[in-house]
């Protein structure tokens, strides 16, 4: 979790590595980011999307960009999870 001041205000950059452990290729992957304070209380949440196709057993680096909702000193930890993804072989 990296804080950056941009010309449009503060941004949080969350980076990581996504690994597909399923036998299905996934695309249009959406992440849910939850941010917590020092006491473990959730202080903010955001969704971000990765425009990649993940084949079975592949991995891919990602970066989620979040506009913070509270002061930077409130953020201590985060949890990120895939909230939705589309079967890349499926229809629209």
The two structure tokens encoding residue 3: 């804080």
Domain ranges in the chain are 2-87
Mean pLDDT, the chain, rounded, equals 92
4 phi and psi angles, rounded to 5 deg: -135, 135
Maximum CA extent, the chain: 44
Topology of the domain covering 2-87: Immunoglobulin-like (2.60.40)
Residues 6+ apart with CB under 8 A from 9: 67
Residue 32, Cβ density class (10 Å: 0-12 exposed, 13-18 middle, ≥19 buried) = middle
* Location of structure tokens 């939705």: 84
Q: How high is the pLDDT of residue 92?
A: 53
Does residue 91 have a pLDDT over 80? no
Q: Tell me the per-residue pLDDT of 65-78, one tens digit each, with 9 for 90 and over.
A: 999 999 889 999 99
């Amino acid at each position: 979790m990296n804080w950056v001041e941009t010309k449009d205000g503060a941004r949080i950059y969350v980076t990581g590595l996504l690994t597909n452990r399923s036998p299905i290729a996934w695309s249009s992957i959406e992440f849910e980011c939850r941010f917590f304070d020092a006491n473990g209380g959730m202080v903010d949440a955001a969704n971000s999307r990765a425009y990649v196709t993940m084949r079975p057993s592949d991995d891919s680096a990602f970066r989620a960009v979040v506009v913070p909702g509270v002061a930077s000193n409130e953020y201590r930890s985060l949890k990120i999870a895939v909230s939705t993804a589309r079967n890349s072989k499926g229809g629209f």
